[in-house]
Each structure stands twice: as structure tokens, then as C-alpha cells.
Structure 1
Amino acid sequence: MASYTTDSLPGLPVSITSRLIPLNDLDVHILEAFPPSIDQSKKPPLIVLLHGFPEIAYSWRKIMAPLAKSGFAVVAPDQRGFGQTRERGQPRRKIAYEEDLAPFRVLNMVNDVVALVYSLGYTSVTAVIGHDYGARIAAPCALIRPDLFASVVLMSAPFTGPPALSDIPHRKTHTPYQLLEKQLASLDPPRRHYTMYYSTPRAANDMLNPPSGLHVFLRTYFYVKSADWKGNRVMPLKDSSPASFAALPYYYIMPLAETMPGCLAPYAPSAEDISRHTWLSDDELAVYVAQYSASGFQGALNAYRCRTDPVWSEDLQVFTGKQIEVPAMFIAGAQDWGPFQIPGVVDKMRGQACRSMKDEDFVLIEGAGHWVQQEQPGEVVSHILRFLQANGKISS
């Protein structure tokens, strides 16, 4: 697939445009939307949207135009390793497992966002908004550069602060994920955490070439993590014991020997289920299929590999103990396991990591699962605008 065009992609408003921007070692693909009427004498305030996995900038298609109509310039990049973003001056290619992980560490991906902002001619961002893995980049953007990012909205993935010094061993030891892996393997039947599977050499190929085909696999993946799948009976876990984690769906705590396509295959939606899956049509799903067919999954999975090896977080230890001081909001679907997949993270985010997250700015939206900005875009836009208005980020 060539560059996105407004007349060729389903569900993409004609007001959203596409281009590549050369930034550092990348040509970054972005989608942009602007207010209908722009005062040429000044730039409209900027909102930056950071997608998660397995998503791309296109995942923000339903909220970009409404935010732009409220007076914002709205920019959504394909993050490093995703979509049409590629090495500078090079065609897109599939990244190999053996390649260097350093570019995918959190601090470097924050640098990608900062470079994007300045390349657009801005020295301030009204809000950086991240969903899923994008929230893991948006949060340190606000933590490290409060002078640049005036507020932050996190979706689905809570932020618990930078790693503590004691969490970053200087010598190779068992990481929390490795310890959990050992504990889950002791269950009957044995299980494993999905991030450890995503960190294996086989995961990218498993997902790119599933037995049922990529379209069916991605349809199932989006379906089972949405409010449409009735198996998402979300509740906070009692504790961090292996038995508690075993209550999570297979897309988080997998059968030990199974692949992600294999563990989800029994839950593939029927034709009737798909007919009710109105927030993601087959034509829209085909966009994801085309993009991942071209780029593969390894670049996207490299971010997960950086989470499971503490060496790639060592450069964040300088921020140990630092809190997000700018206004912060959290949004997730009420049928999303994301906020509750690890006990205590929501409380730590609200009580410690984000200094000024108000009670009304922790929002769980009914009728939405993990893909909240796609499943319930109107509700998401309404809450974002309320948050920005309350914090003086929208001109009266």
C-alpha cells in the first residue's frame, strides 16, 4: 500500500491528510487534521496521538476530525516499527528479530515524539494522548518534558512511574516478567504472560502467518479484546498470585505452549458476531491487514522486548521518583482488562505517578473494551474536551 489518501481508505474523513516527515533516522508517516477555519497568523494548538498494538495512526481516524473541529491541529504518527514509518530514505521492510533493540527503548521513542513536535514548528503541545503501548510513550513525554507537553491523556495502559533504582539490576538477573513466567508455568495447565511470548523469536512470524490467515487472526484479536466479546468480565485481581493471573483471558495469560493465533482461534467471531462488530468493518480491517502484511510484526513487538529486559530501561533511572506534574487523565473501556491486568497499578497511577489526576479524570466508558477510541469515539472525544476545558487548554 502506498501513502494513505483521503479518497482510498474507508472511514477516513476527507479532512485528514497524510505525509512523510524526515526525522533523525526515520521517515515518519503521519496523519493530520486541522480546524475548518485557520487563522493564518498563528498556529492552532497541537494534539499528538500515539497508537498502540496492533494498531497504526489509522486507529485514531474516528476522533481526529472531531478534535480538529474543536480548534486543534491533530497529528497521529505511525510509531517507530509500525505502519508506513521506515528508515530514512529507504523503502519499507520487515525488521528482523536479530536487529538492534536500542532504537525501540522508551527514551528513544520519546525522542521521536519530541522531534516530531519541533519539526511541525511547535514549541508546546496542548495534549499528548496515548493508547495501549502509546500510553507508555505518552506518559514519559509528559514526565520528562512538562515544558513541552502541557497535559497528558492515557488510554488503557496505566502509568506507574519511572522504574525504581532497585528495579534495574546492573547485572543480568531475573526480571519481574521472567519471575512471573516461572510462576505461571507451574500452573495446571501451565500458562505464560503474553509479553514474554511477544519477546520470543517466533512471535512475529506466528502472527504474520497464522493458519487461518492474517485477516481472520486480526479480526479475532480485535474482537476478543472489545466489548463485543462477552468473555470480558472485567474485575480487579485479588493479588499477584499465579492463580489470580490465571483468571485473565488467554490474550493476556496464554497457554504455555500455544501461539497467540492458536490460543485465540476457538473464539473467532461468527458471521453474526461480525455483523454486530460495527465499529470495525471488513474494509477498515483490511487496512490493518495490508499495513502489517507489508511491515510485519517484529518492529512493533520490539517495544515489548524492551519491557522484558531491564537493560533497555536503564536510561530512565535518572527520573526515579519523579511524578507527572501536568494535568493527567485516564480513559479505558469498562470491558477492558488493560487497567486491571496487574494488581495495584491503577492505585499507584492515581495516588503516586500522576500528581494531579482528579477523580473525575479516571474514566471507564461502558460499551467499550480495549479499543476505546474506536469502539466509543464520541464518548472519548467528549471526555477529552471536558478535561482540556477544565484545565484551561481550550479558549473560551
Structure 2
Amino acid sequence: MVEHRMIDVNGIQLHIAEQGSGPLVVLLHGFPESWHSWHHQFGPLADAGFRVVAPDQRGYGRSDHPDDVDAYTLLHLVGDVVALIHALGEEKAFVVGHDWGAPVAWHTALLRPDMVLGVAGLSVPPPFRGTQPPLAAMDKLFDGRFYWNYFNRPGVADAEFGRDVRTTLRKFFYAASGDAAPTGEVMQPLVDPGQGWLATLPDPDVLPAWLTEDDLDALTESFSHGFTGALNWYRNLDRNWELTAAWDNATITRPALYVYGDRDLVPAFPGTPDLIGKLPHLMPSLWRDPIKLTGCGHWTQQERPDEVNTALIEFLKANS
């Protein structure tokens, strides 16, 4: 059974969900999600002999939402994972992340390899630092219409997404899923700043089989405090680029696993398909070639829980 509690980490409180015993596995959600995005993983991973812990990361759900935008840098987020592992009484853990949780997981392995037994990323591949700040790069490529740039307009996306939280989440989850791209064509996530993002997203009459009304209930409740904390992660993209300069060209040395869907918008970002193709050569620590899930969209562990669980359990057992 999944149990819940609050835990003190770096001067804030994080809500965590946990189940099982054995080597620690920390599961890190993305945007716009919560610990609940891993609900298909708790039972199988615990049954396989692992202690599974999924926090609401800072700015999300029942965890604290610091007011300062600067409190959401990648170094703060990695620091939360490090402090969480210690607060749970452990010295080492497997770290698994999806979407924004993947960069946090990858950088935890990069910055604190002494604490990471292995690292897995879903959707977002391992980081290789670009030559210019990411917001400027995307602004130039897409004339300011890339969603990162839209999210960096203070208060704008916060207000749009907060007007009807359930509708916002329903549209987000459907639009980025494999169900919304039946032909396999994946579009870049561009936003007309004058129109907003939600107006262009489809709103399904019937939810996909993997997304239930109960799932939407849990998600909607987790954003009862609004979206600002979650959006503040994006508002540190350029600062993260500056803060990680010391690790330029550094590679992850811990055993690593990467899983993604062939209908996911993130692996289709500019330059990312080429990066994924080169990963086996760029990362000697990659446990096996990237695992591509046919017909799967962005919500990897929710759209394809059985395949993700099988891959994770094999990876965890092989590196325990």
C-alpha cells in the first residue's frame, strides 16, 4: 500500500508517497504532474524488491511552493533529491525522472555520482549543454512562439492555465499523448502569445484508456495552488544554463537507461533526434540502446506502464 507523509528538505517540506523495502528508487515527475504520475509503478517496483519514493517536487502538489522564482534552479532541485535521499536514511539511490524530472535525475547523477546507483530518464534524454542560452535559441528558431518563451511571460500562462484547472490538464494530457497523433506526426509546441496555448489544443470527448476521471481528479487537486511554482522551473532555463557551465562536456558515469515514445513531442525538439541517435556513442554508461516505444506519446510511464515497468525492473535488478 502507498503511504504518504511530509518530510523536511533544504528548508522546505516535500510531500512524498512511498511503498516497499529494499534499495531506494526515487521517482521524479514532470510538468504538469505530481507524484500520482507514477501510480502504475509503485506496486510492480515494490513487489520486485525496491523501496519506491515519489515526491511532489517543490512548487507542486502538497509540497511547499517558494515565492522566489530563483528558488527553482536545477541546483535547488538536485539539492532536494540529495537531501531527500539522506532524510530517508539512505546514502545511495536509483533516480528515475520523467519530463522535467528527467533533467533533475540526469543532473543528480552528473553532480553527485557518489549517491546514484543508476539513473533512468523517460522522454527527456541526457543533458548535453548547448552553445547558447536555451530561451534565446528557441526564440530565434521560432520567433518567440516556442512554449518555453510563452511560459517566461510573467503571470500570463499562470492565469491562462488557472482559469479552469481540470480543462487545462485534460487538454494538456490528451494533446501530448500518442492518441492525439494517430499518424505519428509530432508538431512543435508553438503558442500564439495573443491567443494563448489552450485555445489550439484539442479537448477529447472521451478520455484515452490510460487516463481516467480519477487520474484527472488527483491532478486537478494537486494544482489547487495554481501553476506558478511549476512554471518557475521554466523561468530558470537560462539561469540553469549559466549555473551548469562547469559541467560543460561532462558525461554521466553511472549506469543509465533512456526510454521514450515515438510520438512524444520532446524527442522531436530541434537537435534532439540527432542527439538520441548518438547517445550510445556519447554515453558509455548507457545500459542498453535507447528504448523507443511505438505509438507512445509524452506520458511514457502512464501510456505504457507495463513496458516501462519491465524496463525499469530489469535495469534496477541488473545494477543493484
* TM category, shorter: over 0.9
User: Using the alignment, how far apart are the partners of 2:178 and 2:212 within structure 1?
Assistant: 15
Are the aligned partners of 1:102 and 1:312 in contact in 2 as well (CA < 8 Å)? no
In structure 2, the partner of 1:269 is 204
Q: Which runs of 5+ in 1 are unaligned?
A: 1-14, 36-43, 88-94, 168-174, 186-190, 236-247
Q: How many residues align?
A: 317
| Letter of the structure 2 residue corresponding to residue 262 of structure 1 | A
The one of 73, 78, 84 aligned to 1:105: 73
In structure 2, the partner of 1:356 is 285
User: Using the alignment, how far apart are the partners of 1:61 and 1:232 within structure 2?
Assistant: 29
| Letter of the structure 2 residue corresponding to residue 322 of structure 1 | A
Are the aligned partners of 1:160 and 1:348 in contact in 2 as well (CA < 8 Å)? no
Kindly report which structure 2 residues correspond to 1:357-376, keeping only aligned pairs within 5 A, or say none. Answer: 357-358=286-287, 360-376=288-304
CA deviation after TM superposition for structure 1 residue 105, in Å = 0.5
Cα deviation digits, residues 64-98 of structure 1 (max 9, x gap):
110010000000000011111016xxxxxxx6xxx
Kindly report which structure 2 residues correspond to 1:165-180, keeping only aligned pairs within 5 A, or say none. Answer: 167=132, 175-180=133-138
CA deviation after TM superposition for structure 1 residue 176, in Å = 4.2
User: Using the alignment, how far apart are the partners of 1:114 and 1:135 within structure 2?
Assistant: 15
Residue 339 in 1 paired to residue 267 in 2?
A: yes
CA deviation after TM superposition for structure 1 residue 231, in Å = 5.3
CA deviation after TM superposition for structure 1 residue 290, in Å = 1.5
In structure 1, the partner of 2:236 is 306
- Which aligned runs of 4 or more in structure 1 are off by greater than 4 angstroms? none
Residue 296 in 1 paired to residue 296 in 2?
A: no
User: Using the alignment, how far apart are the partners of 1:84 and 1:329 within structure 2?
Assistant: 29
Are the aligned partners of 2:103 and 2:126 in contact in 1 as well (CA < 8 Å)? yes
CA deviation after TM superposition for structure 1 residue 341, in Å = 1.4
In structure 2, the partner of 1:38 is none
Are the aligned partners of 2:106 and 2:127 in contact in 1 as well (CA < 8 Å)? no
Are the aligned partners of 1:158 and 1:346 in contact in 2 as well (CA < 8 Å)? yes
Residue 58 in 1 paired to residue 36 in 2?
A: yes
Cα deviation digits, residues 214-236 of structure 1 (max 9, x gap):
2222111101111111356247x
Cα deviation digits, residues 24-54 of structure 1 (max 9, x gap):
221110000114xxxxxxxx11100000000
The one of 377, 380, 385 aligned to 2:308: 380
User: Using the alignment, how far apart are the partners of 2:70 and 2:241 within structure 1?
Assistant: 10
Supply the RMSD in Å over aligned alpha carbons. Answer: 1.9
Residue 253 in 1 paired to residue 190 in 2?
A: yes
The one of 133, 136, 153 aligned to 1:200: 153
Report SS of the residue matched to 1:128.
strand
Report SS of the residue matched to 1:192.
coil
CA deviation after TM superposition for structure 1 residue 116, in Å = 0.2
| Letter of the structure 2 residue corresponding to residue 204 of structure 1 | D
User: Using the alignment, how far apart are the partners of 1:384 and 1:328 within structure 2?
Assistant: 11
Report SS of the residue matched to 2:145.
strand
Are the aligned partners of 1:130 and 1:137 in contact in 2 as well (CA < 8 Å)? yes
Report SS of the residue matched to 1:47.
strand
CA pair 258-178 structure 1, distance change in 2 beyond 3 A: farther
| Letter of the structure 1 residue corresponding to residue 275 of structure 2 | V
Report SS of the residue matched to 1:67.
helix
CA pair 181-257 structure 1, distance change in 2 beyond 3 A: farther
Report SS of the residue matched to 2:106.
helix
Specify the structure having the higher radius of gyration (Cα).
Answer: 1
Query: What TM-score do the two structures reach when normalised by structure 2?
Result: 0.92
Cα deviation digits, residues 284-307 of structure 1 (max 9, x gap):
201111221x22101001111111
Residue 392 in 1 paired to residue 319 in 2?
A: yes
Are the aligned partners of 1:28 and 1:86 in contact in 2 as well (CA < 8 Å)? yes
In structure 2, the partner of 1:330 is 258
CA deviation after TM superposition for structure 1 residue 376, in Å = 1.2
Q: Which runs of 5+ in 2 are unaligned?
A: none
CA pair 223-181 structure 1, distance change in 2 beyond 3 A: same
Are the aligned partners of 2:28 and 2:101 in contact in 1 as well (CA < 8 Å)? yes
CA deviation after TM superposition for structure 1 residue 337, in Å = 2.0
CA deviation after TM superposition for structure 1 residue 117, in Å = 0.1
Identity of aligned residues (%): 34
Are the aligned partners of 1:158 and 1:330 in contact in 2 as well (CA < 8 Å)? yes
In structure 1, the partner of 2:57 is 79
Report SS of the residue matched to 2:179.
coil
Query: What TM-score do the two structures reach when normalised by structure 1?
Result: 0.75
CA deviation after TM superposition for structure 1 residue 356, in Å = 1.8
In structure 2, the partner of 1:242 is none
